[in-house]
Amino acid sequence: MPISTPSGDLRTLADWLESYRSAPMGHFVPPAGPVLLVGAPVAESSKVRIDLTHNHQIHDLYQARSGNEPPTQVQSSPATLAPRPLNRPEEQAVIAVLRRPMTPGPHISVGRAPICDVVLPFGRVSKVHAYLSDSMGWTISDAGSTNGTLVNDQKLVAGEWKPLRDGQKVGFGTLQAEFWLPASFVNRVLATRR
- Give CA–CA dist 188/83, Å, rounded: 20
Per the CB < 8 A criterion, the answer to whether 55 and 74 are in contact is no
Q: What DSSP character marks residue 138?
A: -
pTM exceeds cut of 0.85? no
Predicted confidence (pLDDT) per residue in 111-121, tens digit: 999 889 998 88
Q: What DSSP character marks residue 193?
A: T
Predicted confidence (pLDDT) per residue in 47-84, tens digit: 444 555 555 665 566 566 666 665 555 544 434 444 44
- Give CA–CA dist 132/91, Å, rounded: 25
Q: At what angle do helices 13-22 and 182-192 cross, to 10 degrees?
A: 80
Per the CB < 8 A criterion, the answer to whether 185 and 164 are in contact is no
Amino acid identity at 27 = H
Within 10 angstroms of residue 168's Cβ, the number of other Cβ atoms is 16
Per the CB < 8 A criterion, the answer to whether 149 and 128 are in contact is no
Within 10 angstroms of residue 169's Cβ, the number of other Cβ atoms is 14
Peptide bond into 34 cis (omega under 30): no
What pLDDT is stored for residue 6 in this prediction?
47
